[in-house]
Amino acid sequence: MKQTKNWFKEDLREKDLILCPIHRADHWSLVAIDTRTKTVNYLDSLQGSRNISPAPGIMKKFIEKYYRDKGETVKFKVKVRKDAPVQGNGFDCGVFTCK
């Protein structure tokens, strides 16, 4: 988290939606942080990895710490999106992440 401190020129708390593409072990997925509802949404086109990925939990910790560092105590909830489309092969995850 220390390494990302200078990445942001604007206050993330003022954004409605923060999109975080995730690449791990040759697979793409997406974390979408909704600051209005205080929800970390996780979208993964592989059903098998939806519930085991550490990505949404890591991003939840990150955004809560970001708010704390700005003087606010906020709790975000993680929502693994079951309505994310499922890919039918082993190589289209990047396309699904973009969509």
**Catalytic (active site) residue 23:** no
Among the listed residues 98, 32, 96, 38, the one whose alpha carbon sits nearest the alpha carbon of residue 67:
38
Say which of 20, 27, 34, 92 is annotated catalytic: 27
Up-side HSE of residue 22: CA atoms within 13 Å toward CB?
A: 22
Say which of 16, 26, 69, 93 is annotated catalytic: 93
Say which of 11, 16, 34, 44 is annotated catalytic: 44
**Catalytic (active site) residue 11:** no
Q: Are 45 and 84 in contact (CB under 8 A)?
A: yes
**Catalytic (active site) residue 93:** yes
Q: Which residues are catalytic?
A: 27, 44, 93
